[in-house]
Amino acid sequence: MGRRVELLAPAGSLESLKWAILYGADAVYVGGPGFGLRANATNFTIDELKEAVEFAHQHQKKVYVTVNIVMHNQEVEKLDAYLKELEKIEVDALIISDPAIIQYAKEHTSLELHVSTQQSTLNYLGTKFLKELGASRIVLAREATKEDILDIKKHVDIEIETFIHGAMCASYSGRCVLSNYFTARDSNRGGCSQICRWDFDLLENGEKKQGEKPFTFCTKDLSMITKIPEMIELGINSFKIEGRMRSIYYIATVVSTYRNVIDAYYEKTLTSEMIEDAKKILDAVANRESTVQFFDGYYGKDCQYYNGRLELSNQDFLGIVLDYDDDKQLAKIEQRNYFKIGDTVEVFGPNHFVNKFILSHIYDEEGNSLEVVNHPRQVVWIRTPQPLHVNDLMRMKKKIDKMSIS
Ligand code: SF4
């Protein structure tokens, strides 16, 4: 069998990059200080990029940096210095959308070049063109069907990356100016304010239609967990998870769930029950409905929300395991959400599935018994029926409430 498919995770901070790698990502993509498409809060400084690359390379993993802005003149003169800086740091690839930047980077650096999904590549002619320009990998548009992928693989010998999980755009990714018009935030310069998820009133002759629910353009999320075997057999080289703004809990959960399914596929131990369980975990953490979107070649009404959306509240992320005392059967936890004696909690980690147990004893750092843990980042010890491991995560299923939010 050839090289295994790469699992590629998002990271909006050094902390989430480390958790993504720890929980099984083969590579991580990040935004640098310039030329990216996400808000500044989730972009890395040059020093953080250096640390990220060092950490990833120590673990034999890769770091890709987005250079996928829609470029205006003022950015052109800064391009050369920026690309050279990324080359010096030894990032593993750039993710670029503008063919001019691909050509420039090819001529002036020796960096590996991936074409961003912002380029909306859906056919082999475009793929061939981008390969000839210098790209070694194409991140296909989220709108690619399996027939599109097969055809591209048949005609062009190039690495193909596709999205497997996360939010969708109601337009071809980023080719939308709703955000610019409504909030003066440019979605192609990192500012999308997700107008497609807002509620809009329906008007008739300028009057709000009575009795009509508000309308939204909002799409459901993408989840390809049930299609992993089929996608590997199509010869896709990299599976990408969306979400550089997501929490470490979300990243760890989604990455480890796909890691387990991908590994089980290659080890020939994957069962339909495992896929079903994985789907339940992903549905709970995402807090939104999901579909396989365009993959099967049919994009129907089930892929879209129209009148607000029903959300099922997900699990609470309770804390991180910092240490474990085998003799006393106590785990040291850093709190992230309120928990108390009597709660049924679950713990999962990079290399093992969920342990479920009822919290029977909680102690503070001085050994005093506690009933509740309600201070942010409070460090406590809890009694556990099985040993836990450093960097395991503890969560609790919340009672399911239905609420309408867009
Ligand atoms: S407003 Fe919606 S459709 Fe437009 S770029 Fe943002 S996410 Fe995409």
| Burial group, residue 269, by CB count within 10 angstroms (0-12, 13-18, 19+) | exposed
Residues 6 or more apart from 405 whose CB is under 8 A from it? Answer: 308, 309, 311
285 alpha carbon – ligand 1 mean position (Å): 22
Helix (H) or strand (E) holding 224: none
Pocket test for ligand 1, best of 187, 220, 304 (most atoms within 8 A of CB): 187
Delimiting residues of CATH 2.40.30.10 domain(s) in the chain: 316-405
- Largest interatomic CA distance in the chain: 75
Cβ–Cβ < 8 Å for 33, 45: yes
Pocket test for ligand 1, best of 178, 182, 242, 245 (most atoms within 8 A of CB): 178
Q: Which fold has domain 316-405?
A: Elongation Factor Tu (Ef-tu); domain 3 (2.40.30)
How many whole angstroms from its chain centre is CA 12? 10
Residue-by-residue DSSP string for 313-341: ---EEEEEEEEEETTTTEEEEEESS-EET
Residues 6 or more apart from 58 whose CB is under 8 A from it? Answer: none
- Say which CATH architecture domain 6-167+220-299 belongs to: Alpha-Beta Barrel (3.20)
Q: Output the tens digit of pLDDT for each of the chain's 406 residues.
A: 578 999 999 999 999 999 999 999 999 999 998 777 665 557 899 999 999 999 999 999 999 999 988 888 988 999 999 999 999 999 999 999 999 999 999 999 999 999 999 999 999 999 999 999 999 999 999 999 999 999 999 999 999 999 999 999 888 877 888 889 999 988 877 778 889 888 888 888 888 887 778 888 889 999 999 999 999 999 999 999 998 888 899 999 999 999 999 999 999 999 999 999 999 889 888 778 899 999 999 888 888 888 766 555 566 899 999 999 999 999 999 999 999 999 999 999 987 777 899 999 999 999 999 999 999 999 999 999 999 999 999 998 765 444 333 3
328 alpha carbon – ligand 1 mean position (Å): 52
231 alpha carbon – ligand 1 mean position (Å): 26
What is the reported pLDDT for 1?
Answer: 57
Delimiting residues of CATH 3.20.20.70 domain(s) in the chain: 6-167+220-299
Pair of tokens at residue 275: 């896929």
